[in-house]
Homo-oligomer: A and B are copies of this chain.
């Protein structure tokens, strides 16, 4: 019987240790304090865990993908810091703590985000991380991650999210879905892909994993929207009801809670189905898919 909780704890420990090691060599400074504050604040580590799990699913050791997993979490954290800024979502609470611009200040938060994004690429390219991975593969991974994080992916998703909030008439479901595929889906897909690439997965495996990632990425967003309506703010570490208060377009707002839950379940089933060609080593990925809609924070 596969124990997901044990697996997640184990992988999160690996990831936190790797991130800690990378920051440990940094000199003491305000910018590094702010980077550390946001990076080491006990997030779910979903993207790096997916990266490691995908590496294992194709038959390699998770360690192999650890620097990539760390870089992905840096990029995710930078995006949260910038999304929380007053000019963006203007959030004061994140992972149960004041957001970076509240704990430090706005200028420091902008710069800490910039520095984390840059450090991700330093981590993916510096000689000490390269060991026995071919340079071509590193470059392919940098290309996959940068493409997913930039104007073709995550940044475009956040831009559309900002624009959608300004529209009074709301977004059709297809547009909302396209937005999430960019805003959260692209980096989740890159996480799974880059993990499989580090594990020397085949093209067939990577194609299946992309389908998996698209589905759990969307499921994750639907679940997030549901939690914003009916979640426990103490467990979630952030306020609830904020989406409705700022008239944010969400699945519950468009479909109602019950249909939103049905959509999330269907997405998870499709994610699991896409892993048919994988053996027991994809068990963590299957369990994570189920977990995405059952988590409470």
Interface residues of A (CB under 8 A from B): 26, 29-32, 35, 78-79, 82, 85, 87-88, 105-108, 110-111, 113-115, 117-119, 121-122, 124-127, 130, 134-136, 138-140, 142-143, 146-147, 149-152, 155-156, 158-159, 162-163
Contacts and interface: CB of A to CB of B under 8 A. Distances in A.
Nearest to A134: B135
Nearest to A101: B87
Contacts of A106: 87
Contacts of A142: 121, 124-125, 142
A9 B124 CA distance: 35
Nearest to A153: B118
B29 A115 contact: no
Closest 4 CB pairs of A and B: A135-B135, A87-B106, A118-B150, A125-B142
A138 B130 CA distance: 13
A128 B82 CA distance: 30
B105 A151 contact: no
A23 to B, nearest CB: 10
A110 B139 CA distance: 26
A203 to B, nearest CB: 15
Q: What is the copy number of this chain in the assembly?
A: 2
Contacts of A155: 31, 111, 114-115, 118
Nearest to A108: B159
Given A110-B88, A136-B135, A115 B31 contact: no
A82 B158 CA distance: 17
A126 B143 contact: yes
B151 A115 contact: yes
Contacts of A143: 122, 125-127
A130 B106 CA distance: 38
Nearest to A155: B115
Given A87-B106, A114-B82, A121 B119 contact: no
Given A105-B87, A121-B121, A138-B135, A151 B31 contact: yes
A119 B150 contact: yes
A111 B30 contact: no
A84 B84 CA distance: 19
A198 to B, nearest CB: 15
29 contacts: A26-B151, A29-B151, A29-B156, A35-B151, A79-B114, A82-B114, A85-B110, A88-B107, A107-B159, A108-B162, A110-B110, A111-B158, A111-B162, A114-B114, A114-B117, A118-B150, A119-B150, A119-B151, A121-B142, A122-B150, A125-B142, A127-B143, A134-B135, A135-B135, A135-B136, A135-B138, A135-B139, A138-B139, A139-B139
